[in-house]
């Protein structure tokens, strides 16, 4: 069975440019997460979806970040415009239930460098 698939794996953009990341979760997983991992740090939750509904987006910088999960499967995370501080790894993950005790499966991440 395929794991969580993310693209692109690597992206280098100039500041003020837009960028988008795509994620396909494990089949049947209704919960989808976007995490940001800064260098030398643990992942931090940006947004969590239960099916199509964003149930926790309290840490998403809504002035420049947006996310969507149409039809409750694939998801896209967009940054516009990008800033130098947005350089990080963006991890998509999924689980078959809520984070309460359920295993969260991570993709390999999308590495963003803003220059």
Rule CB under 8 A: is residue 44 a binding residue for other proteins?
yes
For 86-95, b/e burial (b = at least 16 CB within 10 A) is bbbbbbbbbb
Q: Binder to other proteins among 32, 79, 82, 104 (CB under 8 A)?
A: 104
Whichever of 109 and 112 has its CB closer to other proteins, that residue is: 109
Minimum gap (Å) between residue 2 Cβ and other proteins:
13
Rule CB under 8 A: is residue 112 a binding residue for other proteins?
no
Sign of the CA dihedral running 104, 109, 112, 113: positive
Whichever of 92 and 114 has its CB closer to other proteins, that residue is: 92
Q: Are 4 and 104 in contact (CB under 8 A)?
A: no
Minimum gap (Å) between residue 31 Cβ and other proteins:
9
Site for other proteins in 60-79 (CB under 8 A): none
| H or E segment and range at residue 32 | strand 31-37
């Amino acid at each position: 069975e395929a794991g969580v698939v993310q693209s692109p794996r690597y992206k280098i953009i100039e500041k003020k440019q837009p960028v988008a990341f795509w994620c396909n979760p494990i089949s049947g997983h209704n919960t989808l997460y976007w995490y940001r991992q800064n260098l030398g740090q643990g992942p931090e939750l940006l947004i969590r979806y239960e099916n199509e509904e964003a149930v926790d987006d309290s840490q998403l910088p809504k002035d420049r970040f947006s996310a969507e999960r149409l039809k409750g499967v694939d998801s896209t995370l967009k940054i516009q415009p990008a800033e130098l501080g947005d350089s990080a790894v963006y991890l998509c993950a999924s689980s078959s239930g809520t984070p309460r005790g359920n295993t969260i499966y991570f993709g390999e991440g999308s590495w963003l460098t803003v220059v």
